Amino acid sequence: MTKIFSFLFTVVLVFSCGNDKNVAENASTSSEKTSGKNPTFGLVIHGGAGTILKENMSDSLEAAYTSKLEEAIRVGHKILENGGSAMEAVTKTINVMEDSPLFNAGKGAVFTHDETNELDASVMDGATLNAGAVAGVTGIKNPIDLAVEVMNNSPHVMLSGKGAEIFAKERGIELVDPSYFYTERRFQSLKRIKEREKENKISVANEDTFIKNSKYGTVGCAALDKNGNLAAGTSTGGMTNKKWNRIGDAPIIGAGTYANNATCAVSSTGWGEYFIRAMVAHDISAMMEYKGVSLQDAASDVIQKKLSELGGTGGIVAIDKDGNISMEFNTAGMYRAHMNAQGELTIGIYKE
């Protein structure tokens, strides 16, 4: 009897030690993740997709885009390297591109048909699935900051127009006179489109081809921080010559922006109407979650098959919970950059 008891005691002891080891191992991996020991991190950005061809690009403009993409991604990378959050990296990186006239976001926003600038932006936090968005704002210097404010300090996900601007004033977000968004380059683009419209060169019949041949200049960022948290953000002026307070995909959570710590963080650029109908950003995450496919397989399926078959053009940048990235597009080019935990930087404009 004593022998049986001591045998059972030994068995229980061995098992419990084994379990303890597992618990300890699990605890150490999860605490390593949360304490930032041996973590991976990284971020990926876009500055718009479209008919971006080497033969139409001057050397100086190409250099300007490349150096602004690098400046922006280095800002976010530094934040992540120092242990900052994915959300902070996303917003500060986007701020750099919003403040540059090169991109169709913030300062460089395109003009509406009425010669105004109406800006849209959104952010999503993959840890909490919280999100914030603004649409059709005309006097906010950095719409991405207002989207964060909506997420953190309002009971809502999306605010639009005048109401969003009243909220911005209450929250101390930087306001600018709408004339701040005037850039000669964007104004000339509007004039060219309007002239073609007048000459009936753009009709309902060929409007699709015309839009497809445009450049979409939205900016976006997706990041993974040392704590394993994902975040994504997108900011845009929308599409040149837009009418009737048209709103695109950039401020629509699930279309232009999506982040979920269980899968990935995504930011889109392209012909917004199609990205809304295909729910591009969420669809990539859902494919990973429900089908167990990799980020790259999900992104390529959604952009090259689903979106393309619908007739949509554009692309995405995305990063998953392990730091894998995707920069997938079905247009001639997409301004893009990626930087990983080792500080390796890749920048691209055209299709390889």
Would you please indicate which residues are annotated as catalytic (active-site) residues?
218
Q: Which of 269, 275, 253, 260 is nearest to 327 (CA)?
A: 269
- C-beta closer to ligand ASP: residue 233 or 270: 270
Residues 352 and 350: their CA atoms lie apart, in Å, by 6
Report in angstroms how near the CB of residue 109 gets to ligand ASP at its nearest. 10
Q: Does 118 bind ligand ASP (CB under 6 A)?
A: no
- C-beta closer to ligand ASP: residue 56 or 82: 56
User: Crossing angle for the helix pair 86-98 and 59-81, nearest 10 degrees?
Assistant: 160
Per-residue mark of binding to ligand ASP, 38-77 (x: CB under 6 A): ----------x-----------------------------
- C-beta closer to ligand ASP: residue 77 or 306: 306
Q: Does 240 bind ligand ASP (CB under 6 A)?
A: no
Report in angstroms how near the CB of residue 150 gets to ligand ASP at its nearest. 18
Question: Contact 104/119 with Cβ under 8 angstroms?
Answer: no
DSSP code at position 99: T
Residues 233 and 47: their CA atoms lie apart, in Å, by 12
Question: Contact 228/240 with Cβ under 8 angstroms?
Answer: no
**Within a 10 A sphere around the Cβ of 348, how many other Cβ atoms?**
17
Number of residues near ligand ASP (by CB under 6 A): 14
- C-beta closer to ligand ASP: residue 106 or 248: 248
Report in angstroms how near the CB of residue 285 gets to ligand ASP at its nearest. 18
Per-residue mark of binding to ligand ASP, 296-335 (x: CB under 6 A): ----------------------------------------
Per-residue mark of binding to ligand ASP, 260-299 (x: CB under 6 A): ---------xx-x---------------------------
Instruction: Choose, by CB under 6 A, the member of 104, 142, 235, 263 that binds ligand ASP.
Output: 104
Both structure tokens of 132 = 């914030």
Q: Does 251 bind ligand ASP (CB under 6 A)?
A: no
Question: Contact 89/231 with Cβ under 8 angstroms?
Answer: yes
176-186 burial, b if ≥16 CB within 10 A, otherwise e? eeeeebebeeb
Report in angstroms how near the CB of residue 236 gets to ligand ASP at its nearest. 5
Q: Which of 295, 277, 273 is nearest to 286 (CA)?
A: 295
Instruction: Choose, by CB under 6 A, the member of 65, 111, 167, 216 that binds ligand ASP.
Output: 216
Q: What is the dihedral of CA 86, 89, 92, 97, to 10 degrees?
A: -110
Report in angstroms how near the CB of residue 317 gets to ligand ASP at its nearest. 12
Residues 339 and 276: their CA atoms lie apart, in Å, by 28
Q: Which of 266, 244, 271, 285 is nearest to 331 (CA)?
A: 271
Report in angstroms how near the CB of residue 103 gets to ligand ASP at its nearest. 9
- C-beta closer to ligand ASP: residue 76 or 248: 248
Window 219-238: residues binding ligand ASP (CB under 6 A)? 236, 238
Residues 231 and 18: their CA atoms lie apart, in Å, by 37
Q: Which residues bind ligand ASP (CB under 6 A)?
A: 48, 104, 216-218, 236, 238-239, 248-250, 269-270, 272
